[in-house]
Amino acid sequence: MKTKGITLLALVVIIILSIMCFVKNRESDGNENRTLATYKMVFRPIKDSVVYKKTPIERFEVALKDQFLFRRIPIVLSLKLDEFLSSWSVSILRKKLGPNQYTFTRIGDYIRISSTDYLSNKVVVDSYNDEKLQIHIDQIIKIHSLYPSIRMYVYQVTQANQTGWFNDFLGVKIPDLFNQLCHLLPSYVKYNHLVYSNLRDYMTNHYKSDHHWNHEGIRRGYNDIYDMMKNDLQLSEKRSPVKQVNFSELYDFKYAGSFARNLGDELLLFSKVKAGLSEDEALNVSSPWCEFFQTSDWAQIDGSRLTLKGRIDRIVKLNDKRVNLISIENKMFESGLLKDCYCDTHPKFKRLAALLELSEDGVKLFRDSGKKGVVARLNELLRPEFKNSVRYFKIVSSLCKNAQGKFLKANFKLLLEKNEELSWDKSSEEGVYKFKTKLSPALGIFMEHFPNLPLLPGFVQLDFVFKFARELGAEIGDQCVVENLKFLKFVRPNDELCIEISQRDEKIYFEIFCNGARSAVGRIKLGL
């Protein structure tokens, strides 16, 4: 009888689990504000999901918890209870702030200004100690030493957690950041910050959920910065902007916090936001806070779900067909051969060209098969979807991105036409002069010699020896003779090369080392 009961129970559980697996999985939950794990993710996890790095068994367990029938009921009840207890505790434990009579509540790492929807980051007393501030000061001093003629200004965006408003509530004393900086900044730097009269003033100038300025804060900051600089730069009378600027046209970003919530691979539009597409499928949005805003983002809309597919300005027309450059780059990344890449129209031939920065796997393939092998692998990936859209490939050591990690389009033509140059480390010891470098796969000599097995030719190595010998004062002319020259091993891309040179008895002696092993040796008899 007991065995029958256990069997029946197991059967019921299996049936329930089977039903759950075939019922459409819920992918998100507004109550928890997160993406839920689905049974699809057991074998095809989304990269940004919480289960991506877990084992299939662990993924199934998480999916079972997230998709369990009636799970929303206890979650909603728990949130309601938490909200009730929070408001009840606030009514008992009141902490007042100045004339505005605000109360505070701790919520994890945040402080909620009760009776409002405003949040502030938790105060960290030692976040702005002199040591940390000095790092920024040293950067300013370094910039000034390089560009002494440039005037320097610093303006602080004051956050709520940098003030003393929460001192009594938290039982701490917040250091005065403004005075700290004034004490540490050099005299040639002008410094100012946005001063708030009280918490109501702060809330007027900031968004509710973070420390960024809203339009009022931007206006005040603009006025302060203008006033700080106008005398030095002889600026005209202050004027407010009269033209609206689409910032998505200036910067390649995908910030959508004002109209949607990130679900991982796609966005969920807020209920009061309406989204549409222009003729070229560029996203536009409208809401109670914005009548109409046209972006430069290529998008796809499915009900309340929004997918950003790239930038409109990174879509080109080839043979009357639209091609998304970002999609091409992403497809090339799938090869695993690239650390970074950038695709654009060739400035001369109106065909697509790609700059390639090789990964470790890419360097290995380049050593085995040369540029020809790398390009063949990339074309194999691109061909099914993009045919032969990319006609030119250039391997570079680095894409030379700016401090924000962005590649400037203006550098594309420069890198496409620029020849890679070697950088040598020079030293000497007891009359022996050493010249060291690492041979980048981007060197032009590796593209031609040989196509399928790139090598550093012997005549190039000998040319290096001649060049450095001349730098050391040796008179190498037409009468010199290379004696006893031997090449012992190949020198390949990504190898470390070291050339050692010494001079005795009117002769130049040299040894070449590849990754620490001798690869060539010889001497040069100087002409009379």
Helices (H), 198-273: 199-205, 215-233
Sequence ranges of the domains in the chain? 20-92, 119-233, 247-313, 320-417, 425-525
- Kindly state the tokens that stand for 261: 């919530």
Which positions ≥6 away from 399 have C-beta within 8 Å? 340, 341, 342, 355, 357, 407, 411, 415
Look at 101 and 100; give whichever has higher pLDDT.
101
Lowest pLDDT segment from 222-226, 247-251, 270-274, 506-510: 247-251
* pLDDT (0 to 100) of residue 373: 92
Main-chain phi, psi angles of 393, to 5 degrees: -125, 130
Sorting pLDDT into bands at 50, 70 and 90, what band is 316? confident
Q: Give rounded-to-5 percent helix, strand, coil for the chain.
A: 35, 25, 40
For CA atoms 260, 262, 263, 267, give the dihedral sign: positive
CA 254 to chain centre: 12
Helices (H), 346-390: 360-386
- Kindly state the tokens that stand for 354: 């790609």
DSSP-assigned letters across all residues of 448-488: HS-SSS----HHHHHHHHHHHHHHTT----TT-EEEEEEE-
> Which candidate, 148, 292, 112, 120, places its Cα nearest to that of 206?
120
Look at 197 and 107; give whichever has higher pLDDT.
197
> Scanning the structure block, which residue is given the tokens 């040598």?
424
CATH superfamily, domain at 320-417: ANL, C-terminal domain (3.30.300.30)
* pLDDT (0 to 100) of residue 186: 86
User: Exposed/middle/buried for 88, CB within 10 Å: 0-12, 13-18, 19+?
Assistant: exposed
Q: How far apart are the first and last CA of the chain?
A: 112
Q: Which helix (H) or strand (E) holds 161?
A: none
**Same CATH topology for 320-417 and 425-525?**
no
| β-strand pairing of 152-156 with 189-193 | parallel
Lowest pLDDT segment from 151-165, 196-210, 247-261: 247-261
Q: Considering the chain, what percentage of its residues have pLDDT values greater than 90?
A: 22
pLDDT, one tens digit per residue, over 6-32 is 777 767 666 665 655 555 666 666 556
> Region 219-247: what's the mean pLDDT?
72
* pLDDT (0 to 100) of residue 33: 58
- For residue 525, list its beta bridge partners: 481, 507
User: In 173-266, where do the E strands start and end?
Assistant: 189-193, 260-262
Question: Is 310 a residue whose pLDDT tops 50?
Answer: yes
- For residue 284, list its beta bridge partners: 276, 294
Sorting pLDDT into bands at 50, 70 and 90, what band is 194? confident
* pLDDT (0 to 100) of residue 114: 67
> Which candidate, 203, 212, 299, places its Cα nearest to that of 257?
212
Lowest pLDDT segment from 16-30, 65-79, 119-133: 16-30
* pLDDT (0 to 100) of residue 367: 92
What type of residue sits at position 203? M
CB 140 within 8 A of CB 189: yes
> Which candidate, 490, 491, 492, 483, places its Cα nearest to that of 510?
483
- Quote the Cα angle for 269-274-276, to 5°: 100
> Region 162-175: what's the mean pLDDT?
74
Sorting pLDDT into bands at 50, 70 and 90, what band is 245? very low
Lowest pLDDT segment from 85-99, 358-372, 477-491: 85-99
Question: Is 366 a residue whose pLDDT tops 90?
Answer: yes
* pLDDT (0 to 100) of residue 264: 64
| β-strand pairing of 432-438 with 315-318 | unpaired
Q: How many CB atoms lie within 10 A of CB 90?
A: 16
Coil vs helix vs strand at 364: helix
Look at 195 and 374; give whichever has higher pLDDT.
374
| CATH architecture entry for 425-525 | Roll (3.10)
> Region 115-134: what's the mean pLDDT?
70
* pLDDT (0 to 100) of residue 504: 85
Rounded to the nearest 10°, the torsion over CA 46, 47, 53, 59 is -10
* pLDDT (0 to 100) of residue 480: 83
141/131 Cα distance (integer angstroms): 15
* pLDDT (0 to 100) of residue 98: 42
Sorting pLDDT into bands at 50, 70 and 90, what band is 321? confident
Lowest pLDDT segment from 48-62, 81-95, 388-402, 462-476: 81-95
pLDDT, one tens digit per residue, over 269-290 is 877 788 888 877 788 888 776 7
CB 273 within 8 A of CB 285: yes
Question: Is 187 a residue whose pLDDT tops 60?
Answer: yes
- Kindly state the tokens that stand for 47: 């990269």
Lowest pLDDT segment from 28-42, 130-144, 251-265: 251-265
> Scanning the structure block, which residue is given the tokens 């020896």?
465
> Region 361-372: what's the mean pLDDT?
92
